[in-house]
Structure 1
Amino acid sequence: MGGVRATARIRATADGRGGTSLPVLEGEGPLALRRTRGSGREARVMLVGAMSGPLGGDRFRVECGVEDGARLRVGSAAATIALPGQVKGEARYDVRLDVADGGELVWLPEQLISAGGSDLRVATRVDVGAGARLVLREEQVLGRVGEQPGRLGSRLTVRVAGRTVLDQELGCGPGAPGGWDGPAVLGGYRAVGQLVVVRPEFGKEPMPARVLGEGAVLAPLAGSAVLVSAVAEDALRLRRVLDEALAGLDA
């Protein structure tokens, strides 16, 4: 079997002094982790790509757990670019996030770019406790400038208090199910993103569904979560839409 196997692990706990400690911060190969300056109770971590990829045949995995009383913000230093490799077959990138009751996770990686000729399968699974808080952003860009995209499959599953509130899947690019680029899915746009926000107060006062502008909509999910879905012409416009949506929820 070819390709690179790599796993990164993060565990955040309350340090007993009003802050957050990181007893587990481990990266392998292309998945390097760096702790950066935090703010208040919040610890911050950057995921740094130490190698190109994921390439064909690679298997990447990121695991992150946030315990009661801990606050963690995770970002990435640059966009992730899925590229074709010498090894045939799809690459896989799995993300597993667990946020315990009383924990808070802000997960804001940079975009995933599906370069021409690549074949990548992404699966993100999130388990959130009933009293936990979460902000999660996912952004996919289909092809670089002037380039047709590779094949990209993406699945996002979110469970709150053991109940599945979101389980959606999207396939794009060559070999994907027909219609992915049609008006019922992307409508010719090349950037697609999701923003999932979980807050206990949403369970008491559900957010109403509404259109946020061209190509974006906010929808309440079961329990204490909301989903913002957006499509845009490019990564810059997509980020602006999602940032504005999050600012509106914080207002």
Structure 2
Amino acid sequence: MRVRILGIGMGPQHVTGEVADALRGCDYAVAVRKRDDDGLFALRQEVCDAYGVPLVAVPDPERDRDDPADYPAAVADWHEARVAAFERVLGERGGTAAFLVWGDPSLYDSTLRIVARIAERGNVDVDHDVLPGISAPQLLAARHRIVLHGVGRPVHVTTARRLPEAVAAGQDNILVMLTGRHGFEGLEDWSLWWGANLGTDSEELVSGRVADVLPEVGAARRRARDKAGWVMDTALLRRSE
């Protein structure tokens, strides 16, 4: 069977013409649903409805989210459970299936790993391709009207969990994906450009010196969660010169 991994940005307004054409040619799409009122599943449903493609809900396996001591192992176990769940659906339905990926499949998303693992297990004969989407860093830069790096300078992309490690290594221009419950301790004099739920009607934006805007970030994160039921946030942190 064929699997198409499609980047969809943050919803119907970000679907490219290339992805739209691919989606129209799919028999169905699959997506995890964490609960009955899963807002992210609902956004995927909007995308599918726009192109007349059925969306098949796959219950999301439980994951240890309490900062386990062995985080990579916890994520690996969760991914393996997802592999089995998706494999069952693909094996039963066959045809051409779409995986709708938030942002772009290349950046902090595991759909490619999951589909590769399905193919590796060999229970379902899978051929897959990938089409890009609009990523959160692109949206963050556009909303704040900034370039993500200085002239001839790099930008370091990491997670909030590994932000202290990046700072200790001397990185001074850091794009942080999914800041979540993590803060910006020790970076009070750095400049911050922050955004949550970018590209949706619950979007929130904050910028300024970290020490000055941290309370505003906390309030904005709560507003985004109250409105959407979930938060995906991204931030650019730059050491003051």
TM bracket, shorter-chain basis:
under 0.3
What's the TM-score once normalised by structure 1's chain length? Answer: 0.26
Question: Greater strand percent: which structure?
Answer: 1
Higher relative contact order (CA 8 A, sep 6+): 2
Question: Greater helix percent: which structure?
Answer: 2
Asked which structure has the greater CA Rg, the reply is 2
What's the TM-score once normalised by structure 2's chain length? Answer: 0.27
